[in-house]
C-alpha cells in the first residue's frame, strides 16, 4: 500500500477525533453495556470492542466504506449504498448516529470536496476517494478512528484508565488489520453481523434513564 504524503495528511485529518463529526457524543451502545455490567474492566472492554470490529458494525461499515470509495463518481450507486447503510442499522439510535455523523462529516469535509449527505462510512469512503486517499488506507483510518472513539467513550464511562485504554488500542491493531484485509473482496450482500449483545445494548440504550451519550 502506497499513500501520497498529501493524501496521508488528509486521512489523518479526516480520522482525527478533532474532526467535527460529533463522534464524542456516541458510544454505539457501550454505555448500556457498562450500565448492565457486561463491560466492567480492560479485558471485557477488549473482548467487546474486538467483537464489534470483527463481527459487527466495524466490519459492515468497512464494507460500506470500500464500496462508496469505488462508487465515488457514480451518484446513483452512492445513493443506493447510502440507503442500504441507513436501512441496515440495528436500532433507531444507531441509525441516527451514522446519519448525523455523516451529515457532519460531509459539511466539515466540504473544504476539500462536496457531496450529498450520506451515512458516516459512505461519506468517509466517497470523500476519501475524491481526496485521492487510497482505499485500503481509508479503511484502516476509519476503523482506527472508530476504535479510538469507543475507547474514549469507555474512559468517560469509567471502566478503565488511560493506560488501560492504550493497551486495549494496541491489542486491537491486529483486528483492525484483519477486518481491513477481509473486507477488501466483500460484496454489499456480505453486510451483516453476529454481535447480538452489542445489538441488544444499542437497542436497550434508547430507554436508559440516565446517560451521557446519544447511543
- Residue 102 belongs to some domain of the structure: yes
The pLDDT score that the predictor gives to residue 30 is 96
195 found inside a domain: yes
Number of compact structural domains in the chain? 1
Mean pLDDT by 10 residues, the chain (215 residues): 88 94 94 95 97 97 98 97 95 95 96 94 98 97 97 92 96 98 97 92 92 92
Q: DSSP string spanning 149-204?
A: HHHHHHHHHSSS-HHHHHHHHHHTHHHHHHHHHHTTT--GGG-----HHHHHHHHH
Is 73 part of any domain? yes
CATH code of the domain in which 186 resides = 1.10.4190.10
Whole-prediction pTM: 0.96
Determine the structural domain holding residue 135 and report its residue range: 26-206
Amino acid at each position: 500500500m502506497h499513500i501520497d504524503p498529501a493524501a496521508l495528511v488528509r486521512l489523518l485529518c479526516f480520522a482525527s477525533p478533532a474532526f467535527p463529526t460529533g463522534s464524542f457524543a456516541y458510544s454505539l451502545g457501550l454505555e448500556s453495556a457498562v450500565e448492565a455490567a457486561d463491560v466492567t474492566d480492560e479485558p471485557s472492554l477488549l473482548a467487546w470492542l474486538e467483537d464489534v470490529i470483527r463481527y459487527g458494525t466495524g466490519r459492515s461499515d468497512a464494507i460500506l466504506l470500500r464500496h462508496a470509495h469505488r462508487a465515488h463518481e457514480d451518484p446513483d450507486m452512492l445513493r443506493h449504498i447510502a440507503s442500504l447503510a441507513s436501512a441496515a442499522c440495528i436500532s433507531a439510535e444507531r441509525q441516527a448516529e451514522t446519519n448525523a455523523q455523516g451529515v457532519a462529516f460531509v459539511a466539515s469535509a466540504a473544504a476539500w470536496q462536496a457531496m450529498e449527505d450520506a451515512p458516516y462510512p459512505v461519506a468517509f469512503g466517497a470523500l476519501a476517494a475524491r481526496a485521492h486517499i487510497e482505499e485500503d488506507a481509508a479503511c484502516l483510518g476509519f476503523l482506527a478512528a472508530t476504535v479510538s472513539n469507543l475507547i474514549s467513550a469507555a474512559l468517560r464511562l469509567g471502566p478503565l484508565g488511560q493506560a488501560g485504554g492504550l493497551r486495549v488500542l494496541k491489542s486491537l491493531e491486529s483486528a483492525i488489520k484483519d477486518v481491513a484485509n477481509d473486507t477488501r473482496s466483500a460484496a454489499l450482500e456480505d453486510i451483516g453481523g453476529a454481535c447480538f449483545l452489542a445489538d441488544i445494548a444499542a437497542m436497550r440504550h434508547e430507554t436508559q434513564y440516565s446517560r451521557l451519550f446519544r447511543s
